[in-house]
Structure 1
Amino acid sequence: MAQPEHQIEDIIALFNQCFLQPYNTRLVKGGDEPIYLPAGPGQPNHELHFAHGFYRSALHETAHWLIAGAARRQQVDFGYWYEPDGRSAEQQMIFEQVEVKPQALEWILSVAAGIRFQVSVDNLNGEATDSNPFKQAVYQQVLTLIQQGLSTRAETLRLSLCHFYGQSEQLTPEQFDPLSL
């Protein structure tokens, strides 16, 4: 059986099938910058916008949404700060600490979708830093998530991706190679 190609419309449909009704949240192809907008006047649904219509951006923003608790999902961008590209080494270290869990979950979702994951330090114009500790932290977080089990929402989407893309439902450490980062 041939696997479906990775189309933006598919990830949007899968997310919305899983979360539009129970969480009043829909995934939206966005513009230059991703953003999460809670429902409010003139906007009946919470909206998770991913950047440029990129499939990987959709998975990354979805990972942030899956991690955010109920209170955070009532705030624009979950109430988090974002320091854009061009960060100092100190700012980059803080960014990486915040990004470990979302990127680990994104990696798990990428495996479920059958696409290659690439860790992102998202600081092309900033001070150069060693990304190896961050990569190792993301890998260790993947192992922790596998051991502890995913949240109900994360597991719902993971299984939906597995079914749609014909991937195994099993989630094992052997599916993740730290040298591929």
Structure 2
Amino acid sequence: MRPRHAYDKVFEKSQAPSGGWAVIMCPSRIVHSMKHNIRAESSCGFADLMLKNMSFKVGQTLTVTGVPKADATKFSINVGHSEGELALHMNPRFEANRDHRILALNSYQGGKWGEHVAYGVFPFNQGEEFKVKITFTSEEFHITLPDGSEIRFPNRFHAEKYRYLLFDGEAKIQGIEIK
């Protein structure tokens, strides 16, 4: 993990005075946040994006759209409480850490990685758009991959709400939606 200042964009949701919704504006990007939904879009894509104080709860769906770089070796989609507490670390590896076209999943807590789970299903292609959908229960994450296949990963924290999202590595994130 890199220090917070190393990320292209860091967004923190703040409650509007009315308790309803807030809009976060940044150059050439559109980011809308409402009490129960968030949507971030970019025509040029975000690289290395951190979202804090967002509300991703049981029953909601996180949809991530992006494009891995043409020469990407890996990227990651992370869901958790903070940078040091990641309930889901989803790491598509084109060629990294001696892995070739492997989808690695793990969790990170207390400065240590949990038990690594690798899937042979790898519907990601360098330079091509992907869409991933993530939902969860207190027991497990349900992940729908770009080809429509579904995988599951244990929710090792057993939490019903996460407030931290991190998108890291060699992919441009074009859209994020929680609803």
More strand per residue: 2
TM-score, normalising length from structure 2? 0.26
Higher relative contact order (CA 8 A, sep 6+): 2
Higher helix share: 1
